[in-house]
Amino acid sequence: MKQRQKEDILNEEVDFGCGVISTGSTLLDLAISGGVVEGGGLPAGILVEIFGPESSGKTVILSEIAGNIQRSGGQVMFFDPEARLNVQFARLFGLKIEEGIYKQPDTVPEVFQSVREWVPDNDKVINGIMTDSLAALSTELEMENDEGDKMGTRRAKEFSEQLRKTCRLLKSKKYLMVCSNQIRQNIDAGPWGQKYVAPGGNSIGFYSSVRLRTKIIEKIKQTKEVYNVKVNRVVGVEIEVEVVKNSVWKPYRVAPLTIIFDYGIDDTRQNLQFLKTYSSGNTYVVNGKNLGNSLEKAIFKVEEEGLQKELKSEVIKVWNEIENQFGSKRLKKFN
């Protein structure tokens, strides 16, 4: 793995020794740690929270990460309190549920106690813990008394207790824990408070090294003629992911993502659009090869001719050139 100069590394406590795991999006990988490690990605030993409104891509990103962990030789423990994950959906991301540990927990302690007791087969690679979603977890008190968790006080306390016990273990064991979480409207916010909050209290945000906020930009619609009738369907969504907290590198970088419902993250599409915007003008060009001005045809040619790696390399190169324009040119305060 190609690392940058030591003076450019902002957080030396993050361990990149086991490599990184891709989110499935080149631009999101770069937004998370592109200034620290070539190509970016998620390192081991950290907690990641992906939060946003419903249907904004949280489960897709989480599942892409899980599949990439397995393909990198690691094991995956998948917590699914809402029981939404199925074999067919998981296969879109190369995630093999039968080769991992799949659980449907009810409470906060069930998740984190299982993490602390877990012993993967290989500790030389990145092993992952996925939770989809934190908002669906109850407290033990709720389960015993069948009562509502007023103001989320008990739930927040349990998250705080369990995270405090678990996060040091994530670092020492080099686990990558990724959790999705929904945002909800805060009706008690007032004129100056937060309009939206994530369930579980402030501890999740506090203990997370990376927080990714997802936002729906627009629906992707297609029109097909079937039996001489034009039929419209929503086939995907364009979303935006902002790195609102980042202990790995710099925060507040933003990455656009395209999600196609029966495909997952369309990295080729976004990479082609990125290069066209910043370097190739009015046409799509990869490795000096002109692919024309039709995006759909350019995607087909990239896949047909196996140009995905060349495309990704060019995106990383251009992204680095852009990012270097924003680096501080001032003298170092300390040697």
Q: Kindly report, residue by residue over 204-220, the tens digit of the pLDDT.
A: 999 999 999 999 999 99
At the top level of CATH, the class of 6-265 is alpha beta
Domain boundaries 267-327, corresponding CATH code: 3.30.250
pLDDT digit string (tens) for 276-307? 999 867 899 998 999 999 999 999 999 999 99
Half-sphere exposure of 70 (CA within 13 A, CB side): 20
Please report the pLDDT score of residue 329 as a whole number. 80
CA 111 to CA 78: how far, in whole Å? 10
Assigned token pair, 317: 């190169």
In degrees and rounded to multiples of 5, residue 102 shows phi and psi of: -115, 125
pLDDT lower than 50: segments of the chain: 1-12, 143, 149, 151, 187
Other CB atoms closer than 10 Å to residue 53's CB: what's the count?
Answer: 16
CA 265 to CA 260: how far, in whole Å? 6
Find out whether the peptide bond into 172 is cis, omega within 30 degrees of 0.
no
Q: Where are the domains of the chain?
A: 6-265, 267-327
Please report the pLDDT score of residue 33 as a whole number. 97
SS3 for 42? strand
Query: Do 267-327 and 6-265 fall under one CATH topology?
Result: no
pTM for the full model?
0.89
Please report the pLDDT score of residue 190 as a whole number. 53
